[in-house]
Amino acid sequence: MDEEGETILLEENYYQLLNVSKTATPEEINSAYRRFSRMFHPDKHSMDPAKQKWAEQIFNKVKEAYEVLSDSHKRAIYDTLGKRGLEVEGWEVIFRTRTPREIREEYERLKREREERRLQQSANPRGTITMSINATDMFMKYYDEYEILEDTSILPNIEVSGMTIQQSIDAPVTLRNTMTLSGNISTQNGIGTGSVNISNRHLSSEKGWTECEFGIGNGPLVGLKIFRTLSRLMFLNCGTVLQFTPRGISPSLVSTMALQLDAHSVGYLTYRAGGQGGSSMTTIYVRDSEKYHTNTALQIGNPHSFISLNIMRKLPQHDMKLRLAFKVGTFGAIAEYGAEKKVSQNSSVSAAVMLGVPSGVMLKLKWSCSSQTIVVPIHLCEEVMPSPVFYATVVPMVSWLVLKKLVLDPITRERQERERQRSMEANYERLQEMQRQARATVELMRETYSRIRTEEEKKKGLVIIRALYGKVPPGLTSHDISAEQAGDAASSPESPTAYSEVIDVTIPVQCLVKDSRLELLEASKSELPGFFDPCVGEDKQLTIQYLFHNNVHRCSVTDRQAVVLPRNSHRIKNRS
């Protein structure tokens, strides 16, 4: 299944079929083709009509893969458009081009045009709803010093102190012009305001754009923004707004210059003047790496000056981000810590605790789904006290665990099973054919398997004892290859194993060994010769137990993880 939940039809991967990388040289492709040709050529199996029939089919697939990858033009089309591109779309490109590089450039150009046409026909709505809640009565009761009243209420007084709704719609008008209609309504302590803005962004060139803005709210406003790329590592963004109020015209100016310092770091210098925010100069240093995102800022101006540090730890294996921030200035000090969790492909939830002087303790909850965001800041206490800090930290964590266990996990499992069933139904005939071909391929490999294994045993090289591929049984981290199972190394995918949804791939793996070395690419193993997918849509692993220099080794990798054998780290010690 793809990210959008659409059913993907299975298709051969020419690179995996020949077990070569996408950057393989013509010599490597020729070598792989000759190797598999000797293994599957129909003339080698002419004594058995059934085997010869299967050999013709498999040999034709190998030959087809070789013909595409050995032809630079066909390979360029296959790399950009896939197998279907060789049938129709790719040849529309090649007639107008000459070299493989021109084919790829032409494809990228056509792809950009298709994306532009698609954007031109669609609008992009965005929205944010912020609901501020005052819950300070939970931890600190308020009493009027001029009135003595008996507190008879049992439940604390929790109120919505403010709400803001912001919505915008981006609508491409032409390939170079995009109109944006935005509006917001806000209320704070019973006082409401609102505004409506419309702007047009014109892409003047690849190096810049201009944007004109008109709005009405607290009086009419007119604005102009300009973006310009100054060099390969520097850009400038300037904007000015004229706000017409009953007290006169209020101008404001914002100018930002950015410089790419290195591959992971960017520096920003921003100047603000006029408007309700006063005047200030801000410098920001941002560093973004694979594991961390840091943001350091220093602002000097009126009415406030401050210094801040923001550190985010990325945990992609858990779809999570941890955040820690500090901010100290003329307004006081704020410390913040929180976490963000990705719930699905397009939605995430986050919670953060803010401790400030003099603001107190605040819990900020956020839910983002596609282009819509809901933010709920809850003011718990006007002073930093242990009890509100404790509850603000523990309650979101416990609530998330309960929600995940009782609601989200069952929904996710149900959706995955539904997608798996839909994929299996869409590819049922294709899966059956792949299974039959895999079993026939193993039968054709037996002679090659015996020869390679004998050669490796003589020189004490790489001998595959047992290889299993498929779903790992619950409670285990890899397939259980027992001593009894290891005795029969010549079984086929038809052979039963101790677990369902697991196939024996000892013969195909041994046949891929060359000069006491096995190398499998970073791609799904189900597309290798002699393999097939025994459990579509499920997580799979490949477990290999092998001998090298008469020492037992063992490794287990995920379906798309690369494999290189032998490795000293795979050796099983203290065993004969």
Asked if the model's pLDDT at residue 176 lies above 80, the reply is: yes
Residue 85: band (very low, low, confident or very high) from pLDDT cuts 50, 70, 90: low
Amino acid letter for position 465: I
Mean per-residue pLDDT, 462-466? 94
Compute the distance between CA of residue 164 and CA of residue 17 in angstroms, rounded to an integer: 57
Compute the distance between CA of residue 469 and CA of residue 505 in angstroms, rounded to an integer: 7
Q: Which of 152-156, 475-479, 495-499, 526-530 has the lowest mean pLDDT?
A: 495-499
Question: Which pLDDT score is estimated for 409?
Answer: 85
Amino acid letter for position 210: T
Residue 488: band (very low, low, confident or very high) from pLDDT cuts 50, 70, 90: very low
Amino acid letter for position 186: S
Compute the distance between CA of residue 135 and CA of residue 83 in angstroms, rounded to an integer: 60
Asked whether the beta carbons of 329 and 306 are under 8 A apart, the reply is: yes
Please write the tens of the pLDDT for every residue from 238-279: 999 998 888 888 899 999 999 999 989 999 999 999 877 688
Question: Which pLDDT score is estimated for 98?
Answer: 52
How would you label 467-493 residue by residue, b for 16+ Cβ within 10 Å and e otherwise?
bbbbbbeeeeebbebeeebeeebebbb
Please write the tens of the pLDDT for every residue from 505-527: 999 999 999 999 999 988 888 88
Asked if the model's pLDDT at residue 75 lies above 80, the reply is: yes
Residue 226: band (very low, low, confident or very high) from pLDDT cuts 50, 70, 90: very high
Question: Which pLDDT score is estimated for 245?
Answer: 84
Q: Which of the two residues, 445 and 72, has the higher pLDDT score?
A: 445
Could you tell me the two tokens for 205?
A: 């060139």
Q: Mind listing the domains of the chain with CATH numbers?
A: 14-70+429-570 (1.10.287.110)
| Distance spanning both ends of the chain, measured CA to CA | 45
**Percent of the chain beyond pLDDT 70?**
83
